[in-house]
Amino acid sequence: MAQILVTVLLSLALVFTAGVVAFGPSATVFGPYAPWVLFGVSVLFSIVWVRQTIRAASARNRTQELTMQLETANIKLTQLDRLKSEFLSFASHQIKAPMTVIKGYATLIMDGSYGPVADQVRDVAEKMKLSADRMIDLVNMFLDLRRIEEGHLDYHFEPADLGQLVASVVDEMQELARHKHLALSLAPLAGHWNVNADVTRLRQVIQNLVDNAIKYTETGSVTVSVMPQGDTLVHVSVTDTGRGIPSDLLPRLFEQFSRDESVAREIAGTGLGLYIARQIVQAHHGKVWAQSPGPGKGSTFIMELPVIQ
């Protein structure tokens, strides 16, 4: 407001000065039309100057208002995001605790800890355990997502033999593959490759890649291999003969909630596993990506990690 007032006063002073010069005693020196031209130009300039100053001031005021509104909105969004994270954490823990109890009792029934049970009861207990496992995995996934978003996903790095880690995961997943009548195999290891890893988190990534390969393969096989790439890198690849990946999905496969909609109804999933896997691999200074010739032609997921020198 002060700038507008100053501009108006200066404009009036300019017009007054131009009038004195144009119509004063020395006006005849400039000819009969020069005074009017000089005065008209000074008036026009003053009007334009005042209008531009008013517009600039209005724009600044509007910018300040928008900035304040944006800051207020950001504060509200930050508060909502914090409340969302707190609710997600609370709800996840409240779900995880009873699921763990259900899983424990189902396991005890299957093991015969409460006495001999019929095969039908054992089958039901097994289904209860599998459902509890899936729910616990889902809860853990959402908890990991929250920690990633907040930058609180902790890692405890130590040297680890990558080949042995992959071999143990493949061995654990054999029962799941047999259940689908798939051949799950590990290509012969041609050496030892130590990597700096959080073993628990890296195991989670490998399990996710193998589990996805089994999940999206109806017939055929899943082959896992560990191969060096020069002297500094090592690749873990998981190749299947399954459904394959559409070319338009490949670039966004590792984004949050990204799934192949054509199989979403048939195969349960959240679209978060690969996103979390990529975050974990990147924390290990590695990369993970997917390749596929197309739908129905299988796919290969590759994880690349640096080798400890």
- Mean pLDDT of successive 10-residue stretches along the chain, which has 309 residues: 60 59 53 57 67 74 82 79 67 72 84 83 84 78 76 86 94 89 91 91 93 91 93 94 88 77 59 87 94 90 92
Alpha carbons 222 and 252: distance in angstroms, whole number: 23
Tell me which amino acid residue 262 is.
S
Residue 195: per-residue pLDDT: 94
- Give the H/E segment covering residue 140: helix 119-150
Residue 213: per-residue pLDDT: 93
Tally the C-alpha atoms within 13 A of residue 84's C-alpha that lie toward its C-beta: 12
Tell me which amino acid residue 202 is.
L
Alpha carbons 26 and 41: distance in angstroms, whole number: 18
Residue 49: per-residue pLDDT: 65
Alpha helices in 151-230 (DSSP H): 162-172, 174-179, 199-215
Residue 10: per-residue pLDDT: 60
Residue 19: per-residue pLDDT: 58
Residue 290: per-residue pLDDT: 93
Phi, psi of 156 (to 5 degrees): -125, 95
Residue 73: per-residue pLDDT: 82
Task: Tell which CATH architecture fits domain 158-306.
Answer: 2-Layer Sandwich (3.30)
- Give the H/E segment covering residue 192: none
Residue 238: per-residue pLDDT: 96
Sign of CA dihedral 300, 168, 272, 241: positive
Structure tokens at 28: 């005849």
Please state the pTM of the whole predicted model. 0.64
